[in-house]
Structure 1
Amino acid sequence: MLLFSPEQLLSHPLYQQKSVQVYMKRDDMIHPFISGNKWRKLKYNLLKASELGRDTLITFGGAWSNHILAVACAAASGGFQSRAFIRGEEISNPVLDMCRLFGMELLFVSREAYKDKDKLFSQLEETDRSFMIDEGGAGMDGARGCSEIISELEQQYDHIFVAAGTGTTAAGVAMGIAQQDRMNLLHVVPVLKGGAFIADEMQQLGADLQQCRLHLDYHFGGYAKVKPELIQFVQGFVQQTGIMIEPTYTGKALFALHDLLEKDMFEKGSRILFIHTGGLTGLLGQLKHFQD
């Protein structure tokens, strides 16, 4: 497992045209199943579970959740048992099949019951031996892990881009910028419709938003929703760079970066870092969009 992911200078015609340098923090290379922000958000949760002597990890997510798969793999790697409450009707798909292969027990619950995660957890047997990890690894421990991205950087950047689902990763990056006393402007791209709430979530986790700007117009209809222009963009970027991205998180955030570059939002000579948050197994549920 890579402890520090590389910063890769990208070659793309748009960057040359706009006279900027764009680097990518390759957190997708950390691990094939516990990659990117999933590994970072789980790090301190796993350490705390071990310190408390808990032997079972309990978490929550949807049927195509990268987080669920990451917890399943992390549990198997760390000697834990694992269970996950899956939102919605019982189904089988490649992501859930891999979770089962890692030994995770899947508990399917109605969308209504899923809303009360604390109640679901309390109904389990031997909760005193279990450790609860929130959906997506959200929370202070997750943000703490993500803050370490900034301490790993070997270069200085003018702008940093990251996708946001719960706000935990973005909060961590903002905290890392403040801790390292860097002058980067953090650009956060919510992947959900109505993503303004991300700012509140980041602040509740202790992030200072003075050096942060949210870009709310790149959700493409909502979480995991896509449009033909996004699919075409993802295909083009992968084919031009050889770097795999997916349309739920990295695709939307990169689209935002490219769109802002086209609109001349950055000065010539700017150095820009894009954080690849991994989650490539999510492509398994999106491949149908690339088959037309």
Structure 2
Amino acid sequence: MFKDLYSPLHQLQHPTRTQIQVKRDDLIDPYVSGNKWRKLKYILETAKSLHKNHLVTFGGAYSNHLVATAAVCAKAGLKSTAFVRGESVHNEMLLLCRLFGMELIFTGRESYKNKALLFEQHFGALENTYFVDEGGASPEAVTGCAEIIAELPDDTEHLFCAAGTGTTAAGLLKGIQERKLKTLLHVIPVLKGGDFIADEILKHTGSTEQLVLHTEYHFGGYAKTNPALIEFIKRFIKEEGMLIDPVYTSKMFFALDDLLSKNYFAKNSKIIALHTGGLLGILGMKDKLL
């Protein structure tokens, strides 16, 4: 599955961004794009090695992870189920999940907090089911994301990524460490109070010496926006011909633009931004973008 991985490096074209190349993980697959395939790759291998044929996972009603898991399971001939946080709703994302064959179980926000208990109550007696945490967070996901580093030039000085839980960032830093590179990893937390991400990354890497957190670009918190960010998204897409999403990549590119305007980087620094996909998230904010 995805043996011929398509994730090229693209140079940004706007005069203010010509220092930046973008690692286009968003092009891997329309529905399993960006860091989603990186995270699920080894989860899928582990599940198969344990003779599990049913993946059970978790997410919100506009979760890219749910769509990716549903699509991966359909491609692999596996069954998929998701506990969806909140009341029963119908939207474009959940339609895709259902089309890929995923069963949806809508779950109250309080009971959703204990994912292990939910899994045990519904599927604990079934030997063929495999627990996949929200967003695919797992050691396997970290391993998959670490492989990105081998696909980048060794002389990359600055690597940028957006972060929710920090799993992708942990994998990137692990890959940098394993290859003994001098690259600095710049992480843009999309949640308010994102300093906790450093601790999450440390659990997987043992050191955060080459980590730089930029915590001031959350725009109010997870999936929060303001008019400045919405205007930036529209302008960026028009200037670069590249879609970005309101939840993750837009905040990363906004941060990069801001840092460039402040002469944060040395002249001719080699900068790469990881496009982590998630473009279906645009559907959840289409009214704001119209």
**Shorter-chain TM-score range:** over 0.9
- The within-5 A match list for 1:233-252 is 233-252=232-251
How far residue 123 of structure 1 moved from its aligned partner, in angstroms, is 1.1
242-251 or 202-211: which moved more? 202-211
- The within-5 A match list for 1:47-126 is 47-125=45-123, 126=125
Alignment correspondent of 2:223: 224
- The within-5 A match list for 1:1-292 is 1=2, 2-15=4-17, 21-125=19-123, 126-154=125-153, 156-291=155-290
- Measured against aligned partners, the alpha-carbon deviations of 1:248-288 in whole angstroms (never above 9, x if no partner) come to 00000110111111111001111100000001111110111
What SS is found at the alignment partner of 1:224?
A: coil
| AA aligned opposite 1:37 | N
Q: What is the total number of aligned residue pairs between the two structures?
A: 287
Return 5+ residue gaps in structure 1 as ranges. Answer: none
Report % sequence identity. Answer: 51
RMSD: 1.1
- Measured against aligned partners, the alpha-carbon deviations of 1:28-57 in whole angstroms (never above 9, x if no partner) come to 000000001011000000000010000100
| AA aligned opposite 1:255 | F
How far residue 180 of structure 1 moved from its aligned partner, in angstroms, is 1.0
Distance in 1 between the 2:126 and 2:158 partners? 44
TM-score normalized with structure 2 length: 0.97
| AA aligned opposite 1:247 | P
Distance in 2 between the 1:64 and 1:207 partners? 33
Distance in 2 between the 1:231 and 1:237 partners? 10
User: Contact 1:28–1:277 (CA<8 Å) still a contact in 2?
Assistant: yes
User: Contact 1:25–1:273 (CA<8 Å) still a contact in 2?
Assistant: yes
User: Contact 2:154–2:181 (CA<8 Å) still a contact in 1?
Assistant: no
Distance in 2 between the 1:15 and 1:258 partners? 7
How far residue 208 of structure 1 moved from its aligned partner, in angstroms, is 2.4
| AA aligned opposite 1:109 | T
User: Contact 1:24–1:276 (CA<8 Å) still a contact in 2?
Assistant: yes
What SS is found at the alignment partner of 2:21?
A: strand
What SS is found at the alignment partner of 2:224?
A: coil
Distance in 2 between the 1:181 and 1:112 partners? 43
What SS is found at the alignment partner of 2:155?
A: coil
- Measured against aligned partners, the alpha-carbon deviations of 1:203-236 in whole angstroms (never above 9, x if no partner) come to 1123521011000000000100001110111111
| AA aligned opposite 2:27 | M
- Measured against aligned partners, the alpha-carbon deviations of 1:184-212 in whole angstroms (never above 9, x if no partner) come to 11100000001011011111123521011
How far residue 104 of structure 1 moved from its aligned partner, in angstroms, is 0.3
How far residue 4 of structure 1 moved from its aligned partner, in angstroms, is 4.6
What SS is found at the alignment partner of 1:161?
A: strand
| AA aligned opposite 2:7 | S
User: Contact 2:174–2:204 (CA<8 Å) still a contact in 1?
Assistant: no
166-175 or 154-163: which moved more? 154-163
User: Contact 1:8–1:25 (CA<8 Å) still a contact in 2?
Assistant: yes
How far residue 155 of structure 1 moved from its aligned partner, in angstroms, is 5.4
What SS is found at the alignment partner of 1:210?
A: coil
Distance in 1 between the 2:280 and 2:206 partners? 29
Distance in 2 between the 1:23 and 1:207 partners? 28
How far residue 13 of structure 1 moved from its aligned partner, in angstroms, is 1.6
The structure-2 alpha-carbon separation of the partners of 1:197 and 1:127, relative to structure 1 and needing over 3 Å to count, comes to farther
Distance in 1 between the 2:255 and 2:231 partners? 14
Return 5+ residue gaps in structure 2 as ranges. Answer: none
| AA aligned opposite 1:178 | Q
Distance in 2 between the 1:250 and 1:186 partners? 15
Distance in 2 between the 1:273 and 1:102 partners? 33
How far residue 8 of structure 1 moved from its aligned partner, in angstroms, is 1.0
Distance in 1 between the 2:182 and 2:205 partners? 18
